[in-house]
């Protein structure tokens, strides 16, 4: 009986919270494209995200200070980070840490510095900001023969070096990027409650389901959130070649060889008489 009571209490409280949320200001957003096709001439893309803050009509008084954070998150992946050490004069991969659930792509734009607009606990809980990505090491034994860094050593603080390495490498590849503070390339208010964000997608973007998250923050708290999914996929010949190579690797190899044989023969015929 007690349990039932507690459950109905929780249900009541959450309904109450929902009702209150419904009455608070809410975000309305839209994005220029929800599918991005990677074709042979793909050299990156730019998505435009528009949004407005729908004010709760019951609220009166001066307009509060609003802040917006826009995040485009790629599908998660499993990664191995390898560390080189000098061995007999040359640099050799010696240690490795495997991470699970690392975003393959992460782009963030915010109207101000993240710590100025949100509580760190909340930022961390929702992984808002590259520095707040959790990046947990995989617990299973790595398949690699490199010396795996043990969990104990990891807890001793060594893990942060590997986390930093993931971020550094991803930033260098252009796959992690943050624009904090209003910027022509980031997110900015156009007028009053209307805002716009440019999401730059680099040419090496991983394919799959990406999510565009928009958070409305006020007084350090997230007031409203919208999420939209964006499907990034290969198209045309690129898609066919990729699928052929992965689904029929043997036939693909044969086809590659035949192409080369044919090209070589053509060249031989073309230049025979010259």
**Which of 1, 172, 191, 273 contacts another protein by CB under 8 A?**
172
Min dist CB 71 to another protein, Å, is: 21
Burial 72-81 (b: 16+ CB within 10 A, else e): bbbeeeebbb
Q: One symbol per residue from 202 to 231: x for binding another protein (CB under 8 A), - otherwise; what is it?
A: -xx---------------------------
Residue 226, beta-bridge partner list:
214
Regarding 174 and contact with another protein (CB under 8 A), the answer is no
Q: One symbol per residue from 67 to 86: x for binding another protein (CB under 8 A), - otherwise; what is it?
A: ----------xxxxxxxxxx
**Which of 8, 14, 39, 227 contacts another protein by CB under 8 A?**
39
Query: Which of 171/196 has CB closer to another protein?
Result: 171
Query: Which of 28/237 has CB closer to another protein?
Result: 237
Minimal CA–CA distance to 110: which of 228, 213, 29, 24?
A: 213
Regarding 252 and contact with another protein (CB under 8 A), the answer is yes
Regarding 159 and contact with another protein (CB under 8 A), the answer is no
Query: Which of 55/161 has CB closer to another protein?
Result: 161
Minimal CA–CA distance to 67: which of 128, 117, 119, 24?
A: 117
Min dist CB 235 to another protein, Å, is: 10
Residue bearing tokens 């782009």: 107
Regarding 5 and contact with another protein (CB under 8 A), the answer is no
Residue bearing tokens 């708290």: 221
Query: Which of 73/215 has CB closer to another protein?
Result: 73
Regarding 256 and contact with another protein (CB under 8 A), the answer is yes
**Which of 60, 89, 152, 191 contacts another protein by CB under 8 A?**
89
Regarding 45 and contact with another protein (CB under 8 A), the answer is no
In the complex, the residues that contact another protein under the rule CB under 8 A are 38-44, 77-86, 89-93, 96, 98, 138, 143-146, 161-162, 165-166, 168-170, 172, 203-204, 234, 237-239, 241-242, 245-246, 249-250, 252-257, 259-261, 263-265, 267-268, 271, 274
């Amino acid at each position: 009986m007690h349990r039932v009571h507690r459950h109905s209490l929780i249900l009541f409280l959450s309904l109450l919270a929902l009702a209150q949320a419904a009455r608070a200001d809410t975000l309305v957003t839209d994005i220029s494209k929800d599918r991005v096709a990677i074709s042979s001439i793909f050299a990156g893309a730019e998505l435009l995200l528009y949004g407005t803050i729908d004010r709760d009509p019951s609220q009166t008084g001066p307009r509060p200070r609003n802040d917006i954070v826009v995040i485009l998150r790629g599908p998660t992946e499993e990664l191995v980070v390898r560390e080189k050490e000098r061995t007999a004069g040359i640099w050799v991969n010696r240690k490795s840490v495997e991470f699970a659930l690392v975003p393959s792509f992460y782009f963030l734009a915010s109207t101000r510095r993240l710590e100025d607009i949100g509580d760190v606990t909340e930022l961390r809980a929702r992984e808002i900001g590259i520095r707040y990505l959790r990046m947990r090491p995989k617990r299973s034994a790595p398949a690699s023969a490199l010396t795996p860094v043990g969990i104990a050593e990891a807890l001793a603080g060594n893990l942060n070096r590997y986390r930093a390495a993931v971020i550094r490498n991803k930033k260098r590849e252009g796959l992690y990027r943050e624009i904090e503070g209003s910027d022509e390339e980031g997110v900015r208010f156009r007028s009053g409650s209307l805002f716009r964000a440019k999401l730059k997608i680099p040419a090496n973007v991983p394919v799959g389901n990406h999510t565009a998250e928009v958070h409305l923050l006020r007084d350090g708290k997230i007031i409203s959130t919208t999420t939209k999914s964006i499907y990034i996929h290969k198209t045309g010949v690129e898609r066919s070649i990729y699928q052929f190579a992965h689904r029929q690797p043997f036939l693909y190899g044969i086809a590659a060889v035949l192409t080369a044989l044919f090209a070589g023969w053509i060249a031989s015929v073309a230049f025979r008489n010259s």
